């Protein structure tokens, strides 16, 4: 307002000047001088100060925010630089360890190569020595055939296993056929004769017969004795219809009187009386007799049939032959006693003697076979290199 007044002070009259003419003369109007109207919206100083303060406060806040952002960026960059330095140090340590391990591995590899070369040279020398000392293929085959024939003889002598002996002789004949030497013809002829004799032996199921004897032994304690035989009760006659009570009473009384005395006509001899104290020994003697028969069966002895026949006779004499269990046991023992058993098993001694004689002739040089070349000789087993302790 003051500046406006100063700007317009020279043109606008003061209140005294305006009022002065009105005292004595009529008012005059100047064509050049006119009053200036006041401003429509005057600006106050307080508003300007408020705006300036807000602007300064915004600038201060912006400066503080920029400073904080810059500080956080510096801290992040410093932390990442620290992490990068640590990772670089770890990678250098790993590179150093890897370099050390590579050097150790190279040292171990050179040592292993040296030992491998030594072992290869030793194996080569051993192979050369083995080729000089190893027997020929024919000698190895003859040794195997001799061992097979020995096993066949043991099976026949100890267990009486004809099937195993036949399989062993067939295996020996197949080995001779693979050798394909004319000098082995007498051996194959002797082997064929022994094989024919073994095949002519009737097959006997020793295991099945022993199993049947075991079943009979398990039923000895349950077999009824002949003295304990009881006649079956007679079947009562049906009562007639419309029978008077007195007649029914007489019929029942007569039936009870008849049951007091029973007469039996038997065509069998009288059963022997066995005291209760002797029943245990009777059953044990029967068990021992059957066990002896089982042992004789496994040993292929001639006493087998004798023991089975004796046990069967005891069953028929002392036990109730009308009982189903006794009949089953008697039938089983009768079947076992009727089984044909070979009196004597053939042996393979002729074939074994022929093989041994041929080997002796080869050693003396009378029937020497051409030795195969060194390349056909069997290779020795691979040399086993001793395991060395790991290098530290």
Q: Which pairs count as long-range contacts for 146-154, CB under 8 Å and 24+ apart, including other chains? A: 146/352, 146/355, 146/356, 146/359, 148/172, 148/175, 149/348, 149/351, 149/352, 149/355, 150/352, 152/348, 153/347, 153/348, 153/349, 153/352
Please give the Cα distance from 26 to 327 (Å, whole number).
181
Residue 197 phi, psi (nearest 5): -65, -40
Q: Which pLDDT belongs to residue 107?
A: 92
Please give the Cα distance from 308 to 293 (Å, whole number).
6
Please give the Cα distance from 171 to 191 (Å, whole number).
11
Give the dihedral of Cα atoms 283, 289, 294, 298; nearest 10 deg: 160
Q: Which pLDDT belongs to residue 18?
A: 38
Angle at 247 between CA 245 and CA 252, to 5 degrees: 95
Q: What is the pTM of this model?
A: 0.44
* CA distances for 375 relative to 132, 141, 380, angstroms: 12, 18, 12
Q: Which pLDDT belongs to residue 330?
A: 93
Question: Is the distance from CB of 337 to CB of 305 less than 8 angstroms?
Answer: yes
Q: Which pLDDT belongs to residue 329?
A: 93
Token pair for 49? 């100060």
Q: Where are the domains of the chain?
A: 58-91, 137-201+346-368, 205-228+271-344
Run means of pLDDT, 10 residues per run, the chain, 392 residues: 41 40 43 46 76 89 89 90 90 90 92 92 85 69 89 83 88 87 88 90 84 92 76 64 79 79 60 76 92 87 88 89 90 90 80 89 59 41 40 36
Q: Which pLDDT belongs to residue 132?
A: 65
Q: Which pLDDT belongs to residue 7?
A: 39
Q: Which pLDDT belongs to residue 207?
A: 84
β-bridge partners, 319: 225
Q: Which pLDDT belongs to residue 108?
A: 92
Please give the Cα distance from 60 to 74 (Å, whole number).
21
Q: Which pLDDT belongs to residue 39?
A: 46
Token pair for 299? 């040993």
């Amino acid at each position: 307002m003051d500046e406006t007044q100063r700007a317009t002070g020279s043109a606008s009259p003061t209140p005294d000047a305006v009022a002065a003419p009105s005292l004595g003369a009529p008012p005059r109007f100047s064509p050049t001088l006119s009053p200036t109207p006041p401003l429509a919206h005057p600006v106050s100083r307080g508003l300007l100060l408020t705006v300036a303060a807000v602007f300064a406060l915004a600038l201060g806040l912006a400066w503080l925010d920029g400073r904080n952002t810059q500080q956080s960026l510096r801290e992040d960059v410093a932390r990442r630089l620290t992490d990068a330095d640590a990772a670089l140090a770890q990678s250098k340590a790993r590179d150093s360890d890897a370099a050390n391990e590579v050097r150790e591995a190279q040292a171990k590899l050179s040592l292993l190569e040296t030992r491998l070369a030594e072992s290869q040279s030793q194996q080569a020398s051993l192979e050369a020595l083995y080729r000089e000392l190893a027997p020929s293929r024919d000698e190895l085959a003859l040794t195997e055939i001799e061992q097979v024939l020995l096993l066949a003889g043991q099976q026949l002598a100890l267990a009486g296993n004809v099937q195993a002996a036949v399989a062993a002789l067939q295996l020996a004949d197949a080995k001779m056929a693979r050798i394909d030497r004319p000098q082995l013809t007498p051996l194959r002829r002797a082997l064929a004769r022994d094989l024919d004799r073994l095949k002519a032996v009737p097959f006997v199921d020793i295991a099945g017969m022993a199993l049947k004897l075991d079943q009979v032994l398990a039923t000895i304690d349950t077999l009824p004795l002949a003295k304990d035989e009881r006649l079956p009760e007679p079947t009562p006659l049906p009562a007639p219809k419309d029978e008077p009570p007195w007649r029914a009473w007489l019929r029942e009384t007569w039936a009870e009187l008849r049951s007091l005395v029973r007469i039996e006509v038997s065509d069998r001899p009288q059963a022997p009386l066995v005291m209760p104290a002797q029943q245990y020994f009777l059953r044990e003697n029967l068990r021992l007799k059957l066990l002896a028969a089982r042992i004789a069966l496994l040993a292929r002895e001639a006493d087998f049939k004798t023991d089975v026949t004796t046990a069967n006779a005891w069953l028929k004499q002392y036990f109730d032959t009308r009982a189903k269990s006794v009949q089953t046991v008697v039938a089983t023992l009768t079947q076992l006693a009727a089984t044909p058993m070979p009196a004597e098993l053939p042996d393979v001694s002729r074939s074994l003697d022929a093989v041994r004689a041929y080997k002796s002739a080869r050693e003396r040089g009378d029937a020497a076979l051409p030795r195969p070349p060194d390349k056909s000789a069997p290779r020795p087993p691979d040399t086993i290199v001793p395991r060395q302790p790991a290098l530290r």
